[in-house]
Amino acid sequence: MADSKMADAAATKSGAATPVLTVQNLEAWYGESHILHGINFNVNAGEVVTLLGRNGAGKTTTLKSVMGIIGKRTGSIRFGDQDITRTSSDKIARMGVAFCPEERGIFASLDVRENLLLPPVVRPGGLSLDQIFELFPNLKERLNSQGTKLSGGEQQMLAIARILRTGARFLMLDEPTEGLAPVIIQQIGHTIARLKKEGFTILLVEQNFRFAATVADRYYIVEHGKVIDGFKNSDLQANMDKLHTYLGV
């Protein structure tokens, strides 16, 4: 259980006191394919925690397992004081957990306003449209534009904005910067930093660790469906050689 010990040590060193998400011995399958092999990590209230790893390491599967999208999973997933390992995704969403997928899931035939208003409000405290437009002014300018006519950056803003309306306070963002221009990546970074300041807790999957370094409190390295290392942001420089080896960059 070396990975579990590293996960616990990284969380302890972070100084945060209240665990929001605790994942222990998580295993998951796509059909007969065994993807996760005993994942262990936790996320504390108000943190931005990043899962780093190569393509196919199991990062996205981890997020989908937490969200209840993966049908076959074992181990323990606790959200606050509730075991959600076998809870359906709609019930997990009503607890205040939101997932922004890598493919964004924008409805192409709907305009920006319709995409924003489509998801139901599951809990009080969601952002109003005015607050969303303050974060993403581009969306206000494109309010009547169909999803097919948005740039990749605008689609990513819309995908994040859509879950902010729901009242969820635990956000899982899967590769939010992939394929985006540097100016949009910077805007996404500012948004994550602001959400953290406003009390959101964020679990982020990223391959771009240079971006992750601007927003994350802690990191877990995922390889072959297991957490193999973990450290806090202040220890990033001391772990750069290992990180280059892990990520092959």
Domain boundaries, the chain: 2-247
Q: Which CATH entry fits the domain spanning 2-247: 3.40.50.300, 3.30.410.40, 1.10.1740.10, 1.10.260.40?
A: 3.40.50.300
Chain segment 162-184, per-residue pLDDT in tens? 999 999 999 999 999 998 999 99
Length of the chain: 249
- Give this prediction's pTM: 0.91
N-to-C CA span, the chain: 27
Q: Cα–Cα distance between 175 and 51 in angstroms, integer?
A: 10
- Six-digit token pair at 200? 């959101």
Ordered alpha helix ranges (H), the chain: 2-14, 59-67, 89-94, 112-117, 129-135, 137-141, 152-164, 182-197, 209-212, 240-247
> Half-sphere exposure of 83 toward its Cβ, with a 13 Å CA cutoff?
7
Q: Which of 248, 226, 240, 208 is nearest to 52 (CA)?
A: 208
CA dihedral 63, 44, 238, 210 (to 10 degrees): 50
Chain segment 79-112, per-residue pLDDT in tens? 999 999 999 999 999 999 999 999 888 998 999 9
- Strand pairing of 72-79 and 19-30? antiparallel
Would you give per-residue pLDDT tens digits along the chain (249 residues)?
444 444 444 444 444 468 999 999 999 999 999 999 999 999 999 999 999 999 999 999 999 999 999 989 999 999 999 999 999 999 999 999 999 999 888 998 999 999 999 988 998 889 999 999 999 999 999 999 998 889 999 999 999 999 999 999 999 999 999 989 999 999 999 999 999 999 999 999 998 888 999 999 999 999 999 999 999 999 988 989 988 888 875
